Amino acid sequence: MIRSLVEEFAFDPAVVQLNHASFGAPTRAALTWHDAVRRAAEADTSASLGKALQDDLRRVGAVVAGLIGADPADVAIVTASTEASGALSTSLPLAAGDVVVLTDGEYESVIRAWQVRAEAVGATVLRLPLPVPAASAAVVDLFTALPARTRYVVLSSITSSTALRMPVAEVARLAADAGAALVVDAAHSVGHEPLDVSTLGAAAIYGSLHKWLPVPRPLGFLWVDRALVDVVRPAAVALHLDEPLLQRFGWRGTWDPAPVRGLERALDEWRTWDDGGRLDAAAALADRADQLLTELGWVPTGEPSMRPARLRGFVVPTPLPVLRETLAAAGVRLWTGTVPDGRTAARLATHVYTDEADLNRLAAAARSLPAA
C-alpha cells in the first residue's frame, strides 16, 4: 500500500486492501465532511431535512446528471444499486407471458428481484449461461436469438463477481431489434469507467456512486428514459410518490442525506487523483496483477477487451474455503466466491493506494495455495 495515500484513508495498515469494489472506501477527508454535514443538519432538522434537502437534491441531481450525460429531469438519487434495481423490477410494466432476459453473471439479488416479479405476474426470466472465460463476441451471441415477447434485457456495464466489461451498446442494438428494453446495472461504472447514458440505447441505468468515488456509502443514482419517468417508482411506497422523479425517490422514509450533500467534495477529491495520474497508475497495476496471477494459474474471467480498468476477475484452481483461509492468513482482502458454474472465483480491485508490493503479497499467497 502506498503509505502517503493509505494515510488519506482509514484503513487498517496491517491489511492489504484489494477489495475496493465491494463497498468502496471513503477517505478520511470524506468521513470528516460527512460527520460535519450530519452535525450541521442537527441544528435545525425542520429546515435541513425539509426545504434545504429539496434544494440539495436538485443541485446534486444536476451534478449526477452531468456525470452520466443525462438530463436532470430523468435522474433520481438513490441510496444504492439495490434500491434502484428494486424500483425497476417492481414498477416497470411486465405482463403474463413476457420474458426478462439476463445472464447468470448478473448480480444475484438483481436476478432474484426479477424472478420474484416475474413469478408474481406470470412472466418468465431466462438466464443465459455466461461463458467464462468470456469473449465479447460470445457474449453478444447470447443475445442474438431473444425469445418472442422479450420485454427487458438486463445487463451490467461491468459485472460484479466476474468483473467483466460487457458489450452494452451491441446488446442494446439486439434488444432494440427484438423490441425489448435494455436495463443496465452500472453499479461499478461511475468513477471507474466512462458512462454516457445518452448513447447506450438503454431504457434505464442505475448504479452506485460510493464504490468508485470517495463518498461515504450509501449513494447511488437511477436514470430512466423520458418515456419511463412517470412510470418508475420506489419499491416501498414513501412520501412524495406522486411527485417528479427526483423528489419521488428523495424521501424513502427517514434517511441520512449527508452523502448526497458532499458529493461535489468527493468529486473534487477524485479529480485530484485523476489529474495526478493515480487512477491510471492503479489501472496499470491491475494489468500487472493479471500478469502475475495468470502465471500462477489463475484464469482471467474475460479477454483483455472485457477487463475493466481497475477491477479484475479470475477463476482460481483451488477450493473456495482453501482460498479464503489462505488469503485471510495472508491479510489480503479480495472478493472471493464462485463464477456461475460453481468454480472458485476471486476479484481484485486496484486503487490509488495500491502498489506493486500489494500484488506481490497476493501473489505470494496465491503461490502458497496447494496445487489443484
Q: Which residues lie near a copy of itself (CB under 8 A)? A: 9-12, 15, 17, 19, 22-23, 25-26, 28, 31, 34-35, 38-39, 42-46, 49, 79-83, 85-87, 89-90, 108-109, 112-113, 116, 208, 210, 216-218, 234-239, 241, 252-256, 333
Of 8 and 74, nearer to a copy of itself (C-beta) is 8
CB atoms within 10 A of CB 279: 21
Among 162, 165, 166, 161, CA closest to 141: 166
Of 91 and 360, nearer to a copy of itself (C-beta) is 91
- Shortest distance in whole angstroms from residue 185 CB to a copy of itself: 12
CA–CA distance from 208 to each of 80, 83, 95, 322 (Å)? 5, 10, 29, 31
Residue 347 CA to residue 65 CA, distance in Å, equals: 29
Residue 25 CA to residue 310 CA, distance in Å, equals: 14
Residue 110 CA to residue 155 CA, distance in Å, equals: 10
- Shortest distance in whole angstroms from residue 335 CB to a copy of itself: 8
- Shortest distance in whole angstroms from residue 201 CB to a copy of itself: 26
- Shortest distance in whole angstroms from residue 253 CB to a copy of itself: 2
List, as one string, the DSSP characters of 304-365.
GGG--TTEEEEE-SS-HHHHHHHHHHHTEE-EEEE-TTS-EEEEEE--TT--HHHHHHHHHH
Contact 177, 197 (CB under 8 A): no
Of 58 and 217, nearer to a copy of itself (C-beta) is 217
Residue 209 CA to residue 190 CA, distance in Å, equals: 6
Contact 121, 150 (CB under 8 A): no
Of 238 and 296, nearer to a copy of itself (C-beta) is 238
Of 239 and 329, nearer to a copy of itself (C-beta) is 239
- Shortest distance in whole angstroms from residue 145 CB to a copy of itself: 28
- Shortest distance in whole angstroms from residue 277 CB to a copy of itself: 25
Of 49 and 126, nearer to a copy of itself (C-beta) is 49
**Strand blocks (E) in the chain:** 16-17, 75-78, 99-103, 124-128, 150-156, 181-185, 204-208, 220-224, 299-300, 311-315, 332-333, 335-338, 344-349
Residue with cell 413476457: 98
Of 180 and 332, nearer to a copy of itself (C-beta) is 332
Q: C-alpha angle 15/189/76, rounded to 5°?
A: 115
- Shortest distance in whole angstroms from residue 141 CB to a copy of itself: 29
**Which residue blocks in 201-251 are alpha helix, DSSP H?**
245-248
Of 260 and 306, nearer to a copy of itself (C-beta) is 260
- DSSP, res 71: -
Of 139 and 187, nearer to a copy of itself (C-beta) is 187
- Shortest distance in whole angstroms from residue 206 CB to a copy of itself: 11
Residue 324 CA to residue 327 CA, distance in Å, equals: 5
- Shortest distance in whole angstroms from residue 191 CB to a copy of itself: 14
The distance from CA 269 to its chain's CA centroid, rounded to whole angstroms, is: 20
